[in-house]
Amino acid sequence: MTASPLVLGAMMFGTTIDEKTSFALLDRFVEAGGVWIDTADCYSFWASGSGHGGDSEALLGRWLAARPGVRDRVRIATKLGAEPRWPGSWPAQRAGLSPRAVREAFAGSLRRLGVDRVDLLWLHQEDRTVPIERTVDALAELVADGSVRRVGASNHPAWRVERARRHALDTGTVPIDAFQLSATYLRPRPGTQPPGNVQPFGVLGDEQRDYATEHGIEVWAYTPLLSGAYDNPDKEVPEVYDHPASTRRLAELDKAAAELGVPRGRVVLAWLLAHGVRPILGGSKLDQLDSALEGVRLELAPELLARLDAPV
């Protein structure tokens, strides 16, 4: 079976998505050739009774324990740095990326996941109170002992990633080789942020895209389907995307979906992949997962892709 490029986002597993449903989604994902599962140590503190994260990782740990052998078929990505220091303290007070915070947070992730390594460890949010070189040195220890295979950066500006990569290369450790950012077919108006995104560098921009291309950095996209707004008539496209360029792009998206006979969201996923961006699905229903798996298998003809790219 060909591996699916789709990433399964486990953000709400164990909180708003119950264990039975979460297990069903995970099982279906693996059966369909899914490989990458994405979580974080802070998921999902805002929906947790404790005000802290950890429920998603703990649920994944129970699923892995209940499915002997499945660990060899999947790759686990988790994040650290954004966990609230105490309930209600986020975003002003979070764990951050000091060497001590990195070590302690990662130890907690391994314990909850019930594993001895992760395949990709993300720096969740930048921490300018700590020199990025110190964070890289802490990550280097985890890479050296075999508990981390790859390192990525989520919601970081390109210049800090460059500084981190330079230090990693100079000191002989694994450099950041992946970005995780908000990205979809539409672009928000300049100076605005999509709903729920409080990071000033959380949206994939031209500079980050160019840097990733030049340095062979993989790009992952969260919220690629705008929480279902492309296809669910009960959900509106967020207001930050309401501008003339979006009107033209949505018209082209409508045409493409009609010609292909598929929902608009599937075209969006195919468009992202055509541009080298790996989408993360955070759906809560099996039919949403099935549709996304179909979307990433969709190939857009060059002329159709050119039409979708043309409106700017």
| Residues 38, 59: Cα–Cα separation, whole Å | 13
Q: Could you tell me the sign of the dihedral formed by the alpha carbons of 249, 229, 286, 4, in that order? A: positive
Cβ neighbours of residue 292 closer than 8 Å, sequence gap 6 or more: 6, 225, 265, 266, 269, 279, 281, 283
| Residues carrying an active site annotation | 43
The answer to whether the beta carbons of residues 15 and 55 sit under 8 Å apart is yes
The answer to whether the beta carbons of residues 11 and 40 sit under 8 Å apart is yes
Structure token digits, residue 183: 């990205």
- At CB < 8 A and 24+ separation, what contacts does 191-200 make? 192/240, 193/240, 194/223, 194/226, 194/238, 194/240, 194/241, 195/238, 195/240, 197/223, 198/91, 199/125, 199/126, 199/155, 200/157
